[in-house]
């Protein structure tokens, strides 16, 4: 008994120190993270596998009869962006996997704030798998010509490097803020690269899929070819090999391997998120509950992505919030994942890195605006 107590002392000290650090994550999730980081990854993975296997959705059953409502305000006036008005492009409707479609299913509906008389954010809800008629996929289309994408380090991720910046949306940039969304896996799980404003926090790996932000405002998703960070790259975030390329699933993609997520296994159905690029260079964010990596890839393709990455998974991490007023006011939490921290995420310091979507800067400077 004494030996057991002696062995528990260093663990107790480690846990107490870990939990006493500033964090945006609730103690339940942090406790799991502590176990995972202290040689207990196998135990967490085993527990999660058992839980998600027991709670996996059953195929078939009654379908949905209506889509949930989305918050928007068509009465808003346009914000000044410094760009001339242009013809409005609307992406083609998403064809759901189940017919007949529900009223409004697959239609890109404008949400959030207007910019120069147009909505840069559009959301579509659709069913992606015939076998699961009650599971909805949430997709966001982001007009790259009206927006600026920015990547911010969090308090813990990436695990090294400085400056860390504000670890939230900078206060002096919130007048331009349109939306925020989650980034990829922890570095210890993906070993992917991370770079902002020319500073490489973690090295970029050759062959890994990379979301790249350029100094002219363009965004893209490409396999990293190696070499030094090009001068025209403002930010880059990797997360495992690409799951979609040339409008098709990665030929090596499967639900049984470990390449696109080891901790749970790709066949386990959990909340998953991903990002893609359409043929016009616009960004598409997709998230849904009860997904495998292959069903996520299929959802991204259905939403119009020609190249795509898997981003963070599990019920707590996927986040997409948009704002109907400047300064982060009138926020809307798009994803109905109950354990997610809600509408304040990334408006206060957060543990994980994340992306912010802004109106385009008037001065044409697309460097990530650190406080």
366 belongs to a structural domain:
no
Tokens linked to 318? 């996927």
Say if 85 falls within a structural domain.
Answer: no
Per the domain annotation, does 16 fall within a domain? Answer: yes
State which of 54, 75, 98 marks the end of a domain.
54
From the list 82, 128, 91, the residue with the least C-alpha distance to 286 is 128
pTM of the model: 0.91
pLDDT at 77: 40
Spatial separation of the C-alpha atoms in residues 56 and 151, rounded to whole Å: 34
Chain centroid, CA 160 distance in Å? 21
- Look up the domain containing 330 and give its range: 109-359
Could you report the per-residue pLDDT of 150-159, keeping only the tens digit for each?
999 999 999 9
Which residues of the chain fall below pLDDT 50?
A: 73-84, 263-266
Question: Total structural domains in the chain?
Answer: 2
Residue ending a domain, choose from 13, 37, 54:
54
Same domain as 119, residue 40: no
- Would 61 be classed as within a structural domain? no
Same domain as 203, residue 113: yes
Residue 231 in domain = yes
Instruction: Please report whether residue 302 resides in a domain.
Output: yes
CB 244 within 8 A of CB 252: no
The per-residue pLDDT for 302 is: 98
Residue 80's pLDDT is: 45
Residue 366 tokens, joined = 């697309």
């Amino acid at each position: 008994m004494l030996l057991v107590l002696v062995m528990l002392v260093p663990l107790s000290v480690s846990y107490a120190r870990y939990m006493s650090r500033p964090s945006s994550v609730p103690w339940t999730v942090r406790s799991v993270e502590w176990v995972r980081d202290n040689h207990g990854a196998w135990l967490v993975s085993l527990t999660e596998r058992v839980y998600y296997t027991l709670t996996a959705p059953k195929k078939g059953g009654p379908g949905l009869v209506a889509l949930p409502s989305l918050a928007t305000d068509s009465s808003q006036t346009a914000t000044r962006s410094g760009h001339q008005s242009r013809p409005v492009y609307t992406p083609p409707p998403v064809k759901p996997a189940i017919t007949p479609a529900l009223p409004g299913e697959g239609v890109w509906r404008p949400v959030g704030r207007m910019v120069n008389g147009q909505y840069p954010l559009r959301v579509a809800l659709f069913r992606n798998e015939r076998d699961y008629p009650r599971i909805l996929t949430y997709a966001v289309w982001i007009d790259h010509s009206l927006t600026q994408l920015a990547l911010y380090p969090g308090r813990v991720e990436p695990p090294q490097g400085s400056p860390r910046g504000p670890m939230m949306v900078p206060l002096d940039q919130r007048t331009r803020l349109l939306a925020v969304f989650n980034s990829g896996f922890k570095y210890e799980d993906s070993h992917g690269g991370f770079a902002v404003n020319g500073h490489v926090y973690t090295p970029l790996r050759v062959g890994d899929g990379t979301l790249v932000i350029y100094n002219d405002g363009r965004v893209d998703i490409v396999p990293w070819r190696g070499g030094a960070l090009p001068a025209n790259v403002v930010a880059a975030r990797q997360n495992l090999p690409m799951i979609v390329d040339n409008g098709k699933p990665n030929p090596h993609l499967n639900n049984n391997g470990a390449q696109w997520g080891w901790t749970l296994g790709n066949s386990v159905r959990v909340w998953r998120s991903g990002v893609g690029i359409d043929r016009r260079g616009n960004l598409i964010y997709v998230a849904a509950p009860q997904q495998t990596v292959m069903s996520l890839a299929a959802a991204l393709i259905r939403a119009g992505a020609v190249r795509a990455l898997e981003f963070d998974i599990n019920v707590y991490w996927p986040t997409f919030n948009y704002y109907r007023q400047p300064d982060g006011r009138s926020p809307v939490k798009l994803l109905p994942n109950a354990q997610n921290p809600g509408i304040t995420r990334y408006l206060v310091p957060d543990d994980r890195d994340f992306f912010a979507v802004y109106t385009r800067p008037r001065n044409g400077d697309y460097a990530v605006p650190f406080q």
